[in-house]
Structure formats: C-alpha cells, structure tokens
C-alpha cells in the first residue's frame, strides 16, 4: 500500500504541473490575441477618421462659390468648378474699365504761388518730392483720364541751375493740373550759335516718337508760372501762356508778342509748318511764329494778366546767343519762307538720349548757320 500511495502522489504532482502549464499557455495565447485585436481596432479607428475628414474639405471650397449647394461630383472637379466662379476672376477684369475723364478745371489747383530763387534745390530733393513721376519725367493721373496728352519742350544749353528750379516748381504744378505729360529737354550739342526754334522743332519730332501727344508746350527754361490756374494745355486757338512777366513789369510788351511759353495743338503746329529753322542767335523766331499763325487766320488766346503772371530767373545773356542781325529781314518775309522752312525741312542728328528720373534729355547736333 505504501508503494501505491507513492505512485499516486507522483501522478498527481505531474498532473498538476501539466494543468499549470496548460493554464499558462492559455493565458499567453489569450494575451497575444488581445494585443492583436487592439492594433486592429486602432488601425480601424484611424482609417474611419481619415475617411470622415476627407469629404469635409471640398465642402468648404464649394460654399465659397456663388451657391451654397454641394455638387455630387468628385472633390477634384468641385475644386476646379469653384475656382472658375471665384469673384477674384471678375476683379482681375475691373482695371480694363475706362477711367472717368478728368474735369475741365482740376479741383487740385491752389491759385497764386510764391516763386523765389534764393534757396538752392537739388535733383534728389525734387525726385523725393514727386514720387509718382515715371522715368523720363512722365506722369498721368491715377484716378481719372487726362483731357490731353501734353509734351513740354524746353530748348536748352548749359542752364543746369535754371533747369533745377523749373523742375522744382513745374512738376507739382503740372500734376495738380491733372495732365498726362512728359518733359523733354532738347540740348544743343557743341558751341555753335544757339537756335531756339530749331530745337523746338526737334522736340516736337522726338516726343512723337515716344507717345501720341496731342498738345505741345514750348517753354524757355528760365520762366516759372506764378499761378497754377495757368494750365499748360492746348486750346481752340494757339495759347500764349507767359502773359505777365516780371521782366516787363508784369505787362505784355506788345500785342503780337508770342515768346517765352506757348502752346499749340498738333493740328495748329502742322498748319503753320512748325517753326523756322534758320534763326541763329537771339530774337526774331517768336515774331516769325506769330506771323505764321496770323497768315493762317489763327488768333492768340491768353489767360488773364493776373493768372498769366510768371517770373524769370535773372541771368546774363548766353555766349553764342548774341542778337541775330538778320532777324528783322527774315520776319518781313515769313509768308514767303514758311512753306519751305519748317518741320518739313528739319534736319538734325541725335547724339544721345537720356531718360532720367525727372525729364528726358535729348542731345542733338543741329548743324551751323
């Protein structure tokens, strides 16, 4: 019997070990399957969240369009459709709409101005004071369409200080007058006798190569208007703008006087064949121009003496610009010479063109007498 009990105890012991081992194995298998089920659930949740988020994005694009109704199309096609009807596309076409025309009288004018030449000015300061200027001294209003396209022609040689004052005063005035304008300084090359009228012809021809100007202002570099109501534009008749110069005691020296600053439309200029090319030296060309206008039945228009006031920068007469001894004889024969001496007979050579910040400088060889 004792032997039998020993055998039974060993059998029981082995059976218990086997049961424990089976339990451990069962628990291990259970843990493994539980962990794997967690991974599967986590992946499933992520997948479901991504599917839920994906269709929401196109709905935001669709509702920014013209309608709030979602379309049963693929997200890509919805996005393209929404982009096609965005208001921004219509806004891009708005600049093509024509601006309103500027008023006949600019609301920006201030009237009488204080003009003095005691304080030096610099080109850098003038540029800073006129930030809306384009290269070459060009400007046009931003909020309205200018009534006229105006080229301002300045005959020039060795007058740099005078030019600074002209630019300092005239650029703000011209902008307040709401003009579409450009400034052309026609510089006579070399040291031959000065020819003002021929340089004006050159300025007319060269300005038209750049822009379809309708009006031309012919201005000496030393004359500054004292009232911005004296508009630098063209009228139904040729316009004399420098009516009341301080040099003449703010009076018109004589009724036929057409010197200093004047304006003509393209049609008026061509009607008289431009200006004479054979007036070398000082004087006579402005009277010749007056004779041309009178011969074509045109009259001179002028602003009032008060509005037409202007100040001259005092200076000595330039070298190689002595009084022209032939001027009186030439003036007497204007009607005979005007058809063969003018824009139709103009000859010159452009030496250099500089499109600067405040003006376009064109240096030309106009020949000699």
Q: Could you list the active site residues?
A: 220, 222, 282, 285-286, 312, 315, 317
Matching residue, tokens 């009186």: 328
Rg (CA), the chain: 43
Matching residue, tokens 């030096």: 120
Edge to edge, what strands does the sheet with 239-240 contain? 239-240, 261-265, 215-219, 149-156, 180-188, 360-365, 349-355
Measured CA to CA, the distance from residue 8 to residue 31 in angstroms comes to 35
Measured CA to CA, the distance from residue 279 to residue 276 in angstroms comes to 7
Measured CA to CA, the distance from residue 221 to residue 161 in angstroms comes to 10
Tokens of 127: 């540029």
For 28, 112, 123, the CA distances from 129, given in Å and listed in that order, are 88, 20, 10
Contact 159, 185 (CB under 8 A): no
Measured CA to CA, the distance from residue 70 to residue 60 in angstroms comes to 9
Tokens of 26: 């069962």
Per DSSP, 118 falls in state S
Measured CA to CA, the distance from residue 18 to residue 12 in angstroms comes to 10
- Cβ burial of 316 (10 Å; 0-12, 13-18, 19+) is exposed
Measured CA to CA, the distance from residue 105 to residue 103 in angstroms comes to 5
């Amino acid at each position: 019997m004792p032997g039998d009990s020993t055998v039974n105890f060993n059998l029981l012991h082995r059976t218990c070990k086997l049961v424990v081992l089976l339990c451990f194995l069962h628990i291990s298998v259970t843990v493994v399957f539980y962990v794997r089920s967690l991974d599967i659930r986590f992946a499933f949740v992520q997948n479901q969240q991504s599917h839920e988020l994906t269709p929401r994005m196109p709905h935001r694009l669709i509702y920014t369009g013209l309608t709030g109704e979602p379309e049963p199309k693929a997200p890509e096609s919805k996005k393209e459709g929404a982009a096609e009807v965005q208001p921004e596309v219509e806004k891009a076409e708005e600049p093509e709409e024509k601006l309103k025309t500027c008023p006949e009288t600019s609301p920006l004018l201030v009237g009488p101005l204080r003009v003095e030449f005691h304080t030096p000015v610099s080109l850098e300061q003038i540029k800073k004071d006129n930030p809306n200027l384009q290269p070459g001294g060009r400007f046009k209003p931003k909020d309205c369409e200018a009534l006229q396209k105006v080229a301002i022609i300045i005959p020039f040689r060795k007058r740099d200080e005078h030019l600074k004052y002209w630019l300092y005063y005239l650029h703000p005035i011209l902008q307040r007058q709401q003009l579409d304008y450009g400034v052309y300084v026609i510089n006579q090359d070399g040291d031959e006798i000065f020819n003002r009228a021929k340089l004006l012809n050159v300025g007319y021809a060269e300005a038209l190569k750049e822009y379809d100007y309708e009006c031309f202002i012919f201005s000496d570099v030393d004359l500054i208007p004292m009232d911005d109501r004296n508009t630098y534009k063209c009228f139904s008749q040729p316009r004399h703008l420098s009516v009341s110069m301080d040099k003449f005691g703010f009076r018109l020296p004589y009724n036929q006087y057409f010197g200093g600053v004047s304006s003509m439309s393209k049609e008026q200029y061509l009607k008289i064949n431009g200006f004479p090319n054979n007036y070398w030296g000082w004087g006579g060309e402005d009277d010749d121009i007056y004779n041309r206008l009178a011969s074509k039945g045109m009259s001179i228009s002028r602003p009032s003496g008060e509005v037409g006031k202007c100040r001259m920068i005092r200076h000595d007469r330039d070298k190689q610009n002595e009084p022209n001894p032939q001027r009186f004889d030439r003036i007497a024969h204007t009607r005979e010479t005007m058809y063969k001496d003018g824009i139709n007979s103009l000859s010159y050579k452009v030496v250099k063109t500089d499109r600067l910040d405040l003006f376009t400088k064109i240096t030309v060889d106009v020949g000699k007498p």
